[in-house]
């Protein structure tokens, strides 16, 4: 009798833990991704977009930046919500960048670039002048630099035109090992901030930096709001992230 009770309790607890986990991290993202793929099939550059998504998929196969980040945080005894790790989904991020209408030669910054997924997406999907990633943790910064070399080696040299195009785009990528609050980002046209877990003080520091941007700059932000008269909301929607669906807002600096 005791054994049966224990078994039922064990099964019920597992159901309560695993079913929501499966739904949030596997089933729901699968359906969102499928819907996004179907919607983008109508896109005029769909074939190019898929080719780059496949390249990015290969580039990050087997890369576990979350584990790397946890190890470094433990080694440095850092306990700070600013460093909670999460990443973009390539295709969702492509659609967010498209909403910013990137122009040829514009400059992109990711504040807290982690393994570099957002920076690679911006540089490869669009014709930017520069794509910068600022990352404070050494191991993540080193990893993102390794990814530049890996990306070059992944491009098949027998397709010369594709190789030349992607190589030129990869050359626009630059990772900086620094605190983003102490980095000059005034040249930015498009900025991405994965700010979901960011502390209020850090977020306030970022707002002060955003105020210095040129008018017309676009800012993509996870979860947090920019409540300041110099910024106008362009878009707000649920987007796929490594942890499931997340609220993303896009702002434009007006003056």
Ligand X SMILES: C[S@@+](CC[C@H](N)C(=O)[O-])C[C@H]1O[C@@H](n2cnc3c(N)ncnc32)[C@H](O)[C@@H]1O
Nearest Cα to Cα of residue 232 among 205, 202, 200, 255: 255
- Residue count (the chain): 255
Work out whether 112 is an interface residue with ligand X (CB under 6 A): yes
- Part in contact with ligand X (CB under 6 A); list of ranges 11-19, 113-121, 123-131, 147-155: 113-121
- Tell me how far CA of residue 253 lies from CA of 3, 32, 80, 84, 234, in angstroms: 64, 30, 29, 27, 10
Could you tell me the smallest distance in angstroms from the CB atom of residue 134 to ligand X? 5
Helix (H) or strand (E) holding 241: strand 231-241
Q: Based on the shown chain and the rule CB under 6 A, indicate whether residue 210 belongs to the binding site for ligand X.
A: no
Q: Which helix (DSSP H) or strand (DSSP E) does residue 175 occupy?
A: strand 173-176
Contact 235, 219 (CB under 8 A): no
Q: Name which of 113 and 217 has its Cβ closer to ligand X.
A: 113
Q: Which of residues 78-107 bind ligand X (CB under 6 A)?
A: 82-83, 85-88
Q: How far is CA 27 from CA 20, 21, 22, 55, 86, in A?
A: 10, 9, 6, 24, 18
Q: Give the count of residues interacting with ligand X (CB under 6 A).
A: 22
For residue 114, state whether it binds ligand X (rule: CB under 6 A).
yes
Nearer to ligand X, 162 or 237 (CB): 237
In the 8-state DSSP scheme, what is residue 46? H
* Contact assessment for residue 122 and residue 128, using Cβ atoms and an 8 Å cutoff: yes
Compute the least distance from the CB of residue 180 to ligand X, in Å: 4
Interface with ligand X, residue 175, by CB under 6 A: no
Q: Tell which one of 134, 166, 213, 221 touches ligand X (CB under 6 A).
A: 134
Binding pattern to ligand X, positions 29-68, x when CB under 6 A? ----------------------------------------
Binding site for ligand X (CB under 6 A): 69, 82-83, 85-88, 110, 112-114, 117-118, 134-137, 140, 179-181, 194
């Amino acid at each position: 009798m005791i054994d049966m009770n224990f078994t039922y309790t064990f099964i019920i607890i597992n159901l309560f833990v695993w079913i929501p986990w499966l739904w949030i991290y596997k089933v729901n993202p699968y359906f969102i991704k499928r819907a996004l793929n179907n919607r983008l099939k109508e896109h005029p550059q769909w074939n190019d977009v898929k080719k780059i998504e496949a390249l990015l998929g290969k580039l990050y196969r087997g890369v576990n930046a979350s584990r790397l980040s946890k190890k470094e945080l433990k080694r440095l005894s850092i306990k700070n919500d600013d460093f909670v790790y999460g990443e973009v989904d390539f295709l969702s991020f492509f659609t967010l960048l498209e909403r910013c209408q990137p122009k040829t030669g514009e400059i992109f910054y990711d504040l807290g670039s982690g393994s570099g997924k957002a920076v690679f997406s911006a540089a490869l999907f669009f014709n930017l002048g520069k794509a910068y990633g600022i990352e404070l943790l050494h191991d993540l910064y080193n990893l993102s630099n390794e990814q530049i070399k890996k990306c070059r080696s992944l491009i098949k040299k027998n397709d010369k035109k594709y190789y030349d195009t992607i190589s030129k785009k990869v050359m626009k990528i630059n990772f900086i090992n620094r605190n983003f609050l102490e980095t000059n980002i005034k040249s930015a046209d498009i900025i991405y901030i994965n700010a979901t877990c960011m502390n209020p003080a850090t977020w306030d520091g970022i707002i002060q930096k955003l105020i210095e941007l040129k008018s017309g700059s676009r800012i993509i932000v996870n979860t947090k709001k920019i409540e300041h008269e110099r910024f106008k909301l362009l878009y707000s929607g649920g987007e796929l992230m490594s942890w499931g669906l997340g609220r993303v807002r896009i702002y434009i600096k007006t003056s």
